[in-house]
Amino acid sequence: MKNIIPTLILLSVAIAHGQNAKRDSLAQDVDEYVLTVNQAASQFLNKSLTPAERIKAIEPHAVIYDEKQVEQFENVVLDNEESPEIRAMALNKIYAHVAGDERLRDLAIQWLGDTNAPMVLRQEALQLAAELSFSSMAVFDVYQKLLDDPDLQFRVFAFTQLTIHGDARAQQKLIAGLENPETAPLPAPTAIGILSMAVKKEYLPAVYKVFQQTQDEATRLEAIRVLGNYKEARDKLIAISRDSKEKEEFREAALGALYAGDRESVVQYITPILSDKGAPARLQAIAIQMAIDVRQSLAYRAKTSGPWPFRHLKKADDLDKLIKSIAEDKSASKDPELDKVSNKYLQSVRPNY
């Protein structure tokens, strides 16, 4: 014992020394990187270099650390004598400071809405607005102007931001575009995807109409994905999910929509798919995962089983038996992912066979 204790002490000291050394090494690496960025920033600020040299120096680095250099970058953004490419790059490196600087924010908004501004400045302003949207709930008035912007990427951004925030005008313009494609502000698949993020589901009748009429696969697929909450479309979605003539991505989208819109009825949606020997293995695996998500929840156990701790004794039903048969299939052609998820069901749900 006397020999063990000093050994343990020495071991603890060695471990602590190793951790301190690693910490010191990491701190040194950080200091060296900050110094590298500071040097690159100094090169960028050096007007004796060409714009290409200045941009190349700072481009690999995401942010500026030195507060004095941050202020200098701000001045570059505000300097009309600098080239648009230099001003855009300077703005790119100080996003974190824009929200607190009214001059920078107003200038970026101005660039965003000005179709005559150099595109490099407009695109940087667009990227900045996208970044700020994650940290702020602000919706700028310029977004309304962007709904009619000649450039698609600016229209998409504006419609997305306004629709997410419940703007009725933006949503109605998208719905009108689905009903009258010749005046549509966005391609139908894009419009449907954006509308799916709306709080109010007023768009569903228009999307269902498009779904029934379109010959475009991308539009039809996007429509399928959002129609799960629309009861009038449910029978169509069920038919697609079970139709061997449909492409797999359409069957998967239809099943996903049914699950999203009517989770409580998932068993009736997935049972025919799992019973179909010719159904794609991936589709069957998705169906079983849906069953796991529903049946392993405490809510399901509380509703369908006896008092704790006897809930795991619930008698297996037809779906349990069907999935067990899939799990016990050891044929060489069996899909590995299907085998994995079917056995996961047995372990997670634990039916009483």
Q: What is the pLDDT along the chain (353 residues), one digit of tens a residue?
A: 444 554 444 455 455 555 555 566 677 777 788 999 999 999 999 999 999 999 999 999 999 999 999 999 999 999 999 999 999 999 999 999 998 899 999 999 999 999 999 999 999 999 999 998 877 777 899 999 999 999 999 999 999 999 999 999 999 999 999 999 999 999 999 999 999 999 889 999 999 999 999 999 999 999 999 999 999 999 999 999 999 999 999 999 999 999 999 999 999 999 999 999 999 999 999 999 999 999 986 556 555 555 555 555 568 899 999 999 999 998 878 899 999 999 999 999 988 88
**Structural domain spans, the chain:** 1-136
Return the H-helix or E-strand segment holding 136: none
Measure the CA–CA gap between 247 and 243, rounded to whole angstroms: 9
Residues 6+ positions from 280 with CB-CB distance below 8 Å:
248, 251
* The predicted structure's pLDDT at residue 22: 58
**Coil/strand/helix, residue 315:** strand
Q: What is the pLDDT of residue 162?
A: 97
Distance CA 142, CA 179 (A): 26
Strand, helix or coil for residue 214: coil
pLDDT at res. 229: 94
* Cα 85 to Cα 44: distance, rounded to the nearest angstrom: 12
Measure the CA angle with vertex 253, ends 204 and 347; round to 5°.
Answer: 125
Please tell me the predicted confidence (pLDDT) of residue 6: 46
Q: Is 350 left (phi over 0), alpha (psi -120 to 50) or beta?
A: left
- What's the predicted TM-score (pTM) here? 0.83
Tell me what pLDDT residue 99 has: 83
Quick one: pLDDT at residue 4? 52
CA distance 29 to 23: 10
User: Coil, strand, or helix at residue 112?
Assistant: helix
Is the bond leading into 309 cis (omega within 30 degrees of zero)?
yes
Q: Are 326 and 338 in contact (CB under 8 A)?
A: yes
